[in-house]
Amino acid sequence: MKILGIDPGLRTTGFGVIHKQGSKLAYIASGTIKTPDGDLPQRLKVILASIGEVIQTYTPDCAAIEKVFVNVNPQSTLLLGQARGAAICALVQADLQVAEYTALQVKQAVAGHGKAQKQQVQDMVQRLLALPGLPGTDAADALGVAICHAHSGDILSVLGGLAPGLAKKGLRMRGGRLVG
């Protein structure tokens, strides 16, 4: 399975493509999409078109994108949300299933704890994918999102398989806990 990871940003959007076979992960490609200074609609158009080109080039089977965190500056959060929206539009336009993960989930999946620094994420991505060099921060974050999805997909499929049996027994999830 090929997974496309996206780290959205209005100035720079990172992307990373990995291949998952069983429990093995392999690097395919990564990079950044830089938008020119200018008006917002043109920048969003660049993100939409560029992610479309990445999809066409690497033909991923699914995609994962980082969720927006609420910033101190509400205007920055809104702009980031719009960039993320353009990226999601490109993904769904290509009929890809899209998973969403918080930065905390990505850091935990890649570095083992949710408070990992950017450098730690870069180092772990390099190690997990056996890269010859350190990826840039935006590309490393995007690869981290793809890695997070590769690991989470296994857990979600196991839980999805268990759900019908648990429901028959009258059990369900509430607040992250199994209750009867």
Which active-site residues does the annotation give?
Answer: 7, 66, 138
CA dist 179 and 159 (Å) reads 15
Phi, psi values for residue 9, rounded to 5°: -165, 150
Q: Under DSSP, is residue 27 helix (H, G, I), strand (E, B) or coil? A: strand
Q: Are 41 and 26 in contact (CB under 8 A)?
A: no
Contact in structure between 141 and 124 (CB atoms under 8 Å): no
Helices and strands (H, E) in the chain, number of each type = 5, 7
DSSP character at residue 129: T
Q: Rounded CA gap, 36 and 45, in Å? A: 11
Strands 172-174 and 62-66: unpaired
- Residue 153 and residue 78: Cα distance in Å, rounded? 29
